[in-house]
A and B are shown apart, each in its own frame.
Chain A
Amino acid sequence: MRMSRYILVGILFGMTLYKAEAVSWFRIYEMFKFQSFHMYGIILSAIVLGILVVQTIKRRHMHAVDGQEIKINDKDKHWPRYIIGGFIFGLGWALAGVCPGPMFILMGSGYTVFIVFLLAAMTGTFVYGALRSKLPH
């Protein structure tokens, strides 16, 4: 089935973050305490390589498997939503030690309590969706 390729990508993602200990609450704590290069190495090497990949795709007008040119949408540049939303996200990231990817990964590793975390995250997203028009963006 064509859709199964996305499951394989997800498996690779899950294995990578688990084996690199990026799913560890203690690694996230270490990062915010600036006590190791490990997490910064992961993020920075990904950004540097990612820039090279994206620039190459753009310059050569590369095409996706469906034949369409790969286009990367520009994000809105108004800063308040990024700073305020990012700050709120950061509070949760440091507190729980997981961002959305690791949450799914840990659920599979046997920490089934993350089902509750997922429901709480969906509730958070729902509340944002309901309040959206009243929040500064």
Chain B
Amino acid sequence: MVPDFLIQIKDFISQPWPWYVAGPMIVVIMSILLFFGKEFGLSANFRTMCAADGAGDMADFFRFDWQSQGWNLLVALGAVFGGYLAANYFASPDGNVAHVSEATVNSLHSLGFNFEDGKVPLVPEFYDWNALFTWRGLLIIVGGGFLVGFGARYAGGCTSGHAISGMSALQLGSLYAVIGFFAGGLFMTYVLFPLIFH
């Protein structure tokens, strides 16, 4: 038998986490890494993975001691496990749902999304292998991946490296990067989405 208090803890964790829990938790993660002498930033792993695959023979950018970055690959591997645990053992009581605002449900509707019971799922249906056989799915998964990988390295970091680590250290460069992130995101959402989703 599992003790009652463990089940209560599990139920407590399984609720959707509000922003004021998630934000501070991210800082806890960043702080732990700082005390391990490391800087929080996930996108550096793309460069490490390229270097580990031998990209150093083709471009100087990938000629560095990638094995010293093994710790960051482990953070990424842990994130995979974390996603597995959260989805399989700490699922929200009301299912795999994104608790977005009413305004967002309406916007999504006008963009062409239809949700049967009015609930917005956590992830869209194009997160699927079959979607790769549609032009839209291919654009989102392959095109999106390429843009994220190219842009993150060009800007020298992603959301974790610039928006969290860099902004916390009051780096002007990170502020520019975050302005760039939002400019790109807004352009996609307001200008390109109406073309992609209609």
Contact = CB atoms under 8 A, between A and B. Distances in A.
Nearest to B27: A49
Interface range, A side: 35 or more
B86 A30 contact: no
A16 B29 contact: yes
5 contacts: A86-B177, A86-B179, A100-B158, A114-B141, A124-B147
Given A21-B122, A49-B27, A125-B50, A77 B180 contact: no
A95 B143 contact: yes
Nearest to B89: A15
Interface in A97-137: 97-101, 103-114, 116-130, 132, 135
Contacts of A65: 35-37
B173 to A, nearest CB: 4
B contact patch SS? helix
Contact of A29 (B37, B104, B158, B170): B104
Contact of A106 (B47, B74, B127, B147): B127
A18 B15 CA distance: 11
Contacts, number: 487
A50 B29 CA distance: 10
A65 B47 CA distance: 26
A42 B22 contact: yes
A13 B27 CA distance: 10
Contact of A53 (B30, B108, B176, B192): B30
A91 to B, nearest CB: 4
Interface in B7-21: 13-21
Contact of A26 (B79, B98, B131, B182): B98
Given A9-B32, A20-B21, A95-B139, 12 more contacts: A15-B85, A21-B99, A36-B103, A51-B167, A86-B151, A87-B187, A92-B150, A94-B188, A97-B144, A105-B79, A112-B129, A126-B50
A85 B151 contact: yes
Interface residues of B, number: 127
B146 A124 contact: yes
Nearest to B56: A129
B62 interface: yes
B189 A29 contact: yes
